[in-house]
Amino acid sequence: MSLRARLTIGMVGTLAVAICAGLVGSYFVVRGQLFSEIDKSLSERARGVAEFTNRPPPLGTPAPSTVRFPRPSFGAAVGYVQIVHAGRIALPAGEGVRLPTTGSAAVAAGQRAPFFRTATVAGTPVRIYTARVNNTTAVEIARPLTEVDAALARIRLYFLIAALAALAGTAAVGTAVAKTALRPVKRLTEHAERIAATGDLSERTDEIRSDELGRLAHAFNTMLDALSRSVGAQRQLVGDASHELRTPLTAARTNLELVALHEQLPLEERRRLLADAGAELREMTDLIDGLVELARVDAATPDQQPVRLDELVAEVVASAERRSNATFKTSLEPTTVSAAPSPLTRAIANLIDNAVKWSGNAEQIEVTVRNGTLTVRDHGPGIDPADLPRIFDRFYRAPAARSLPGSGLGLAIVRQVAEACGGTVTAERAADGGSLFTLSLRTLSETEIRRRLLD
């Protein structure tokens, strides 16, 4: 079943319940009003009969089998009158049908309040009112319900016709409303199907609304933008990786072919060619490791948690000191940030390794952690202003760096990790020489740390 059909059925069903409830309620209100008018006329007639009956001569003398009662005032209901006195029944002149006397003695004795009831007498539904006249006498006034029943039958018929007409109108209106309301969804579906068929991620939906469907269209366009950027980045990564891998692979293969073809090469020359091939293969390994790391960060935003930035930096610096002859000057204040530990460790290591690569053995590297910010300062030649705009691009290597080992992915990974953690990274030339890299992340308060640890 389509969404339009379900929406139409839901609207019609809801309105049908509301219409039926309204009509049923109206029917019982009208029915109650009609019975209320009858009951009112019976009460008025009973009071008149009681007043007439209590006039002299009293009913203490033996009552005749029939009596005559005064006629009601002009326009009032006549009603059928019956007097019940000490178990005897007095009927109007010319009447032979008796009303049921259940409860009459109790009303006459004051043991029960006057009451109304509905009964069938001689095949005719009647409304009966029983009231007290004196300590031994009760009066019963009855009116046939034939006219009321006929009126209620007509009302039921009219209400049924009105309900059917209302449901038909509701179905038509519901179908039109559902069609109009779902028209933007239909257009959005057509756009999605067309994009899936053509693969053109540049197409966007032009649905401009301020309601939930407008938000859906905006989210759809945003998703297409993200997907387009992702596909573009993937294609660029594949192209750049192919280009970067081609050079060391070609050089390594050439050196190995020379060794294989020229068996009479001097030993020293063979060793040099094999060492060059090994260096090229190591460069390829570093490049592939960087590509794998980038792919991991691109695949999904890693789960973030409270991380002690100062402790991570201390571990990375200690490892760099063991692997190199560089010296470090650290100032690490306790700082807790929101990040993924493994990618953040790799980003910090890349910044430290970059500083080690550009610093001489006698030059000190300054590492500072304060308020969620890591700064790494080296005293090398510094960054050329022309290279600053592209220093964090993938595979970009400054002219001065092309003679040094590296794949051009280290700083790109730093930026990728920083953005994935909601932070930033910048690079600049230091005032008195060297380079200054700044990695900024969001810090966590003690309350946030406790809440996340409890979660």
Closest CA to 144 of 165, 120, 162: 120
Burial 116-131 (b: 16+ CB within 10 A, else e): eeeeeeeeeebbbbbb
The torsion region of residue 262 among left (phi > 0), alpha (psi -120 to 50) and beta comes to: beta
Looking up tokens 């060794």 gives 259
Burial 188-200 (b: 16+ CB within 10 A, else e): beebeeebeeeee
Q: Quick one: pLDDT at residue 447?
A: 80
End-to-end C-alpha distance for the chain, whole angstroms: 42
Q: What's the CA dihedral at 27, 29, 31, 34 to 10 degrees?
A: -140
Task: With residue 90 as reference, give the H or E element that holds it.
Answer: strand 88-92
Taken in order 448, 449, 451, 455, the sign of the CA dihedral is positive
Average pLDDT for consecutive 10-residue bins of the chain (455 residues)? Answer: 76 83 89 87 80 56 48 54 79 75 84 89 87 84 87 90 86 81 77 79 71 76 78 66 65 75 74 76 70 60 80 92 86 90 87 84 84 90 82 70 62 86 89 88 83 70
Q: Calculate the CA 39 to chain-centre distance.
A: 56
> By CB neighbour count within 10 A (0-12 exposed, 13-18 middle, 19+ buried), where does 321 fall?
middle
Quote the crossing angle between the two packed helices 267-299 and 341-358, to the nearest 10°.
Answer: 140
> By CB neighbour count within 10 A (0-12 exposed, 13-18 middle, 19+ buried), where does 77 fall?
middle
Q: Quick one: pLDDT at residue 275?
A: 80
Q: Does the predicted TM-score (pTM) go above 0.75?
A: no
Q: Quick one: pLDDT at residue 367?
A: 94
